[in-house]
Structure 1
Amino acid sequence: MIEVNGLTKRYGGATAVDDLTFTVRPGEVTGFLGPNGAGKTTTLRMLLGLVEPTAGTATVRGRPFRDHPRGLRHVGALLDAGDVHGGRTARAHLAVLARSNGIPRARVDALLEEVGLAAAARRRVGGFSLGMRQRLGIATALLGDPPVLLFDEPLNGLDPEGVLWVRGLFRRLAAEGRTVFVSSHLMTEMEHTADRLVVIGRGALIAAESLSAFAARSTRLSVTVRTPDAAALTPLLTAEGASVAGDGDRLTVTGLPAERIGELALRHRVLLHELTTLGASLEEAFMELTADSVQYLAGDPR
């Protein structure tokens, strides 16, 4: 389990992380989301003891990471796939870490096989593509068979096969009872992978809840209505303040819940063939709920 309580980091007059409190539980994949500059990487670095917090605490299994001897057996992390000595081979890179953490050498070759780098084990990392470096970084995180895993943008540079592999890996790790915390800007992948979300903006907490609960917070809910009498139903809905789009027998209604639409249709004897509430996608909910927290906003290209 990861526990963050009142975590704060200031650099001079700038606050990178602002009084964050959340918990990441085992047995689930928790996505860590936020606009660029929101403080995600700083938070992960404080969790790993690489950055000293200004205030608050960040613990892994009840203790600061630096208090865990042979850290790779307790926490595996991928923060920067490029942060590897380019002159070493993939096997040598993992072997050094295995030796310093008391991990059997046999684990190295097994992991290179698992992440798809067995054929490149003797190649120098400096010649690896970004996707290959990502796979090596994931192997590094898994090296100590740890109960807690942190990943910062783990899908960068991976091809579609690699993305599917990582998605399945995270689900398997969570099913084994591990704590899996994944920072990513890829909303579609979080929809496929995450059980829960921690969302921050400008260093402050916006939400810490299930994926479905976060999406439901969006105001962009709509209702699909299918009726053979759309001409009669449309003015009834607009009179109630709803917006109605569509043509023929299928309408998309916003601003009015399905229950109220059904009541109006019943009262005015309008036959309905379908009445379905459509929630916002994770991307739509994220864009709406973090709109006030975007630090770097592109201008209109026109």
Structure 2
Amino acid sequence: MIELDALTKRYGGTTAVDGLTCTVRPGRVTGFLGPNGAGKSTTLRMVLGLHAPSSGTVTVAGRVFGSLPRGLRHVGALLDAADVHGGLSAVGHLWALARGNRIPRSRVGEVLDEVGLSSVGKRRIGGFSLGMKQRLGIATALLGDPPVLLFDEPFNGLDPEGVLWVRGLFGRLAAEGRTVFVSSHLMSEMENTAEHLVVIGRGRLIADESLTAFSARSAGRRVVVRTPEAARLAGVLAAAGAVVTPSGEETLTVTGMGLERVGELAFEYSVPLRELSGHGASLEAAFMELTAASVEYLAGDRR
């Protein structure tokens, strides 16, 4: 478990993280979202003790990360896949970390096999593609078999097979009861990977809730109704304040009104229904809508 309590980080007159309070729980994949400059990377670095908070606290399993002996046994992290010594082999890189954390040498071969790099383990990392470096970074995070895992942009550079593999890996790790915290700007991947979201903007918490609940907050929600009396129902719903768009002879798309209220009005006016279904907005649509006021950098902004 990762617990942030009023976590704040200032750089001179700039506040990168502002009173952030949330709990990242085990047993599920938690997505960490926010516009560029929102403070996501700074937050992850404070979790790992790489940056000291200006105020507030962040703990892992109730303790500050820096106080945990042999840190890779407690927390595994991928922050920057390119931040490795290109002259080392994958085996050499992992063995150096394993030795410093008293992890058995056999574990190096196990994680290389798990991420699909066994055949290139003795090659220099400098010759790796970005996707291979991502896999090596994931192997590094898994090396100590830790209960808490942090991943910053883990999908970058991966081919479709690699993306599917990472989705499955994160799901399996969460199912084992681990805490899995994943930061990414790829909304489609978060929609297919995360169960819970922590969303920040300008360093402040915007949402800490399930993926479903977050998407449902968007104005992009809609209700689809199919009825042989579409014209009459459209009039009823419009009079009650809904925005109704015909989508065929018998089908209406309704926005601005919830599914239950649409059903109640259809019942009240004795309109027979053949379909009544709710459709949430995509994660991307909800994210863009709910973080619009927190975007730091806008295309075409001439400030």
Q: TM-score range by the shorter chain?
A: over 0.9
> 1:219-298 alignment to 2 at 5 Å?
219-245=219-245, 246-298=247-299
Match of 1:206 in 2: 206
Give, in whole Å, the separation in 2 of the partners of 1:3 and 1:267: 49
| Mean Cα deviation higher: 208-217 or 15-24 | 208-217
Q: Aligned AA for 1:91?
A: V
- Cross-structure match for 1:135: 135
Instruction: Return 46-55 or 220-229, whichever deviates more.
Output: 220-229
TM-score by length of structure 1 reads 0.96
1:78 equivalent in alignment to 2:95: no
Deviation for aligned residue 1:242 = 1.6
Q: TM-score, normalised by structure 2?
A: 0.95
Residue 108 (structure 2) aligns with: 108
Structure 1 residue 196: deviation in Å?
1.2
Work out the CA distance in 2 between the residues paired with 1:244 and 1:195: 32
Q: Name 2:196's counterpart in structure 1.
A: 196
Q: 1:235-262 CA deviation, whole Å, 9 max, x = no partner? A: 2222222211123211101112233333
Question: Partner of 1:41 in structure 2?
Answer: 41
AA paired with 1:293?
Answer: S
Name the counterpart of 2:30: 30
The runs of 5 or more residues in structure 1 that have no matched partner are: none
Q: What SS does the corresponding residue of 2:270 show, helix, strand or coil?
A: coil
Q: Runs of at least 4 residues of structure 1 off by over 3 A?
A: 266-269
**Residue aligning to 1:64:** 64
Aligned equivalents of 2:60, 2:73: Cα separation in 1 = 12
* 1:231 Cα deviation after fit: 2.2
> Aligned with 1:272: secondary structure?
coil
Q: What do residues 206-257 of structure 1 show as CA deviations (whole Å, max 9, x unaligned)?
A: 1111222222222322110111222222222222222111232111011122
Q: Which runs of 5+ in 2 are unaligned?
A: none
Q: In structure 1, the residue corresponding to 2:103 is in which secondary structure?
A: coil
Percent identity for Structure 1 against Structure 2? 72
CA RMSD of aligned residues (A): 1.4
CA separation in 2, counterparts of 1:56 and 1:153? 26
In structure 2, the partner of 1:157 is 157
- CA shift, 1:271, in A, is 2.4
Distance 2:231 2:300 in 1: 41
Shift of 1:282: 1.7
**What SS does the aligned partner of 2:225 have?**
strand
Q: What are the superposed Cα offsets for residues 148-194 of structure 1, whole Å, 9 maximum, x if unpaired? A: 11100111000111111111111111111111111111222222221
